[in-house]
Amino acid sequence: MSLATQAGGTVATQQGSGRRPRTNAEAARYSVLRRLAPALKHDMVVNLQAVAMMAEVLTARIEKGSPTVAELEASISKMNRLARDAVMTSLKVATWISPSDEETVRLREGVDDCVALLRSSFNFRGCTLTNEVPDTEFEVSRVAVRNLVTASLLSLADAAAAPSDLVVTAEISPGFAVLTVRCSPRPAGDGLGVDAIAVQPGYRAVDWNDVQALALAESIELFRTQEQIVMRIPRMVATSPLQIAPV
């Protein structure tokens, strides 16, 4: 059954928009990236800070007295490993800014990418994030799942009037997955307090119009109710050649 036929929801549509869908989608992507910027910055810097700290420790040891060759080799090896981790993390961050339209990802892994980036900021707002998507071989467009899941989570959390629990679930069939992002208000008296939701977004709120624009750009069918957004994501088969990761 088409998502559009389900009662009680609002279906993504191009009607009522005075701007081109492409322009709407570009504005929505920019808004989502601005909201993700603090988390992306943290992920990019954390490993570089570890390299800097390791270099300072090694410098201090050299100044206090010549370390043995074995100690130097161990320290340099650790710094090299941290530097490789920093490169890999930076490359992952870059895919959020300049994604490949042909890249695929397992559905649960794609949702994990979004949840991992948003969890810390949501915790400050008194919101929890849970990924209950089954771990299967089902692959989807990485760009589509990142855009739609991230925008949906932000949209529901921004619209919430109180600390909430957000859960992502999925029902998978051979050709597509029906992904549900649900936002449930947390019962009063759970110890988080009313100030937990007082944190203001660093950029404007993401709303349903943004989610619609991204869905139209990715040709994803979706609808919403007051507390959830449901989307139908088709299976995607990778067509681009494998790329060798840097060492």
| Domain shared by 66 and 12, yes or no | no
Q: Residue 131: helix, strand or coil by DSSP? A: strand
Q: How does strand 221-224 pair with strand 228-234?
A: antiparallel
- Please give the backbone phi and psi of residue 219, each rounded to the nearest 5 degrees, phi first: 55, 45
pLDDT in tens, 209-242: 999 999 999 999 999 988 999 999 999 986 655 4
Q: Determine, yes or no, domain membership for 108.
A: yes
Q: Determine, yes or no, domain membership for 245.
A: no
pLDDT in tens, 152-189: 999 999 998 788 999 999 999 989 999 999 999 987 66
Task: Write down the pTM of the prediction.
Answer: 0.79
pLDDT along the chain (247 residues), means of 10: 52 47 82 92 86 87 82 87 89 88 93 94 90 96 96 94 92 95 82 51 86 94 93 83 45
Q: Determine, yes or no, domain membership for 247.
A: no
Q: Determine, yes or no, domain membership for 243.
A: no
| Domain shared by 135 and 200, yes or no | yes
- Nearest Cα residue to 213 out of 48, 1, 77, 28: 28
Q: Which domain holds residue 57?
A: 40-96
3-state helix, strand, coil in the chain (%, to 5): 50, 15, 30
- Nearest Cα residue to 169 out of 130, 141, 128, 138: 130
At 104, the amino acid letter reads: T
Q: Determine, yes or no, domain membership for 117.
A: yes
Q: How does strand 128-131 pair with strand 164-172?
A: parallel
